[in-house]
Amino acid sequence: MPELILPIIELESSYRRYIDELGEEERYPFPLDFEHNNFPAMLKRIDNFKAGVDIPDGFVQSSTYWLVDGNDIIGCTSIRHCLNDRIEYCGGHIGLGIRPSYRGKGLGNLLLKRSIEKATELGIKTLHIHCHTNNVASCRMIESCGGKLSSTVTVGNEAINRYLIHA
């Protein structure tokens, strides 16, 4: 059974394969965009976000976890400890992604359920979870984990569904 862990140096090669597999695809959650040529520095940046240290303007404190099966990273989640106005409008508490070769196996639901548990441990009572309206798989995943559609907003030329989950 896959487990949710904090990022570790021992999975560097799996992480690099994951990033390669994503190719030019937009990466979710945002820590997958961190520079990773210096892997220990990337892990330190992830740790700093969790600790609330050196967070750039516009960002908020967040914890990143990897969903792993053995020595393979199969997904990634980032849980924001709080929201600013911009992220509450479009972004939400949880961003997640499943490695392309593992999609379609129900692992997104597992990762979201575990992410909700971690958010609850942080004391978050009402979770905001957002996704592109045309991403039917994400909409279904969020709804199957208790998400109730709160509103739809337009950002640029993209429609975004905003869901709430009361933990």
What are 48-87's pLDDT values in tens digits? 999 999 999 999 999 999 999 999 999 999 999 999 999 9
pLDDT at 3 > cutoff 90 = yes
Q: What is the pLDDT of residue 1?
A: 87
**CB-based contact 116:165 (threshold 8 Å):** yes
pLDDT of residue 70: 94
Judge whether 16 lies within some domain. yes
Higher pLDDT, 167 or 115: 115
Please indicate, yes or no, if residue 145 is contained in any of the structural domains.
no
Number of domains observed in the structure of the chain? 1
DSSP 92: B
Name the nearest CA neighbour of 110 among 143, 145, 139, 78: 145
Residue 14: predicted pLDDT? 97
User: pLDDT for 100-153, tens place per residue?
Assistant: 999 999 999 999 999 999 999 999 999 999 999 999 999 999 999 999 999 999
Quote the pLDDT of residue 162: 97
Output the pLDDT for position 74: 97
Question: How many CB atoms lie under 10 A from the CB of residue 65?
Answer: 23
Question: What's the maximum distance between 2 C-alpha atoms anywhere in the chain?
Answer: 41
Is residue 161 assigned to a domain?
no
Note whether residue 140 is domain-resident.
Answer: no
Q: Is residue 154 part of a domain?
A: no
Taking CA atoms, 167 is separated from 32, 40, 124, 127, 158, in Å, by 27, 34, 8, 7, 28
Residue 32 pLDDT class (50, 70, 90 cuts): very high
Domain of 64: which CATH number?
3.40.630.30
The parent domain of residue 72 ranges over: 3-124
pTM: 0.94
Mean pLDDT of the chain: 96
